[in-house]
């Protein structure tokens, strides 16, 4: 989502207007799913309950600075593990799904 870009590359979608409606529309289209990164967009999508799966790539480096992932999340989201992959570099990819609460 951008308020300043006029266009994006072939593998991206420029979203303007209501983020929730735009993402729900994109999720209904055929394809392999949506991938987002960064700090502000994942936070907005998590708050809207639009993330079906989280994938975290943990690097064996401590930076000690920079933005905190999902800082400011309105509500706690419980996750259940789906998959884990360790790389020779020491990095670990962890996949989780939000736990669905049934009434």
Supply the range of the domain harboring residue 62: 36-98
In a domain, 54, yes or no: yes
Cβ within 8 Å of residue 72, ≥6 positions away:
43
In a domain, 12, yes or no: no
pTM of the model: 0.76
Q: For residue 102, is pLDDT > 60? A: no
- Greatest pairwise CA separation for the chain in angstroms: 44
In a domain, 83, yes or no: yes
Beta strands in 9-78 (DSSP E): 54-58
Phi-psi region at 68: left, alpha or beta (left = phi > 0; alpha = psi -120 to 50) = beta
Q: For residue 11, is pLDDT > 90? A: no
The per-residue b/e assignment along 36-51, b for 16 or more CB within 10 angstroms, e otherwise, is: eeeeeebbebbbeebb
User: Average of pLDDT values for 26-33?
Assistant: 80
What is the count of structural domains for the chain? 1
Q: Please state, in angstroms and rounded to a whole number, the distance separating the CA atoms of residues 74 and 70.
A: 10
Instruction: Give the tens place of pLDDT for each residue, 62-89.
Output: 888 888 888 999 999 999 999 999 999 9
In a domain, 3, yes or no: no
Q: Which residue has the higher pLDDT, 2 or 24?
A: 24
Q: For residue 13, is pLDDT > 90? A: no
């Amino acid at each position: 989502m951008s308020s300043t870009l006029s266009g994006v590359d072939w593998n991206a979608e420029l979203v303007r207007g209501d983020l929730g409606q735009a993402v729900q529309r994109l999720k209904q289209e055929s394809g392999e799913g949506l991938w987002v990164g960064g700090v502000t967009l994942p936070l907005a999508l998590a708050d809207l309950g639009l993330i079906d799966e989280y994938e975290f790539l943990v690097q064996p480096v401590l930076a000690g600075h920079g933005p905190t992932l999902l800082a400011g999340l309105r509500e706690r989201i419980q996750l259940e593990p789906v998959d884990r992959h360790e790389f020779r570099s020491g990095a670990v990819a962890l996949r989780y799904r939000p736990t669905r609460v049934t009434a």
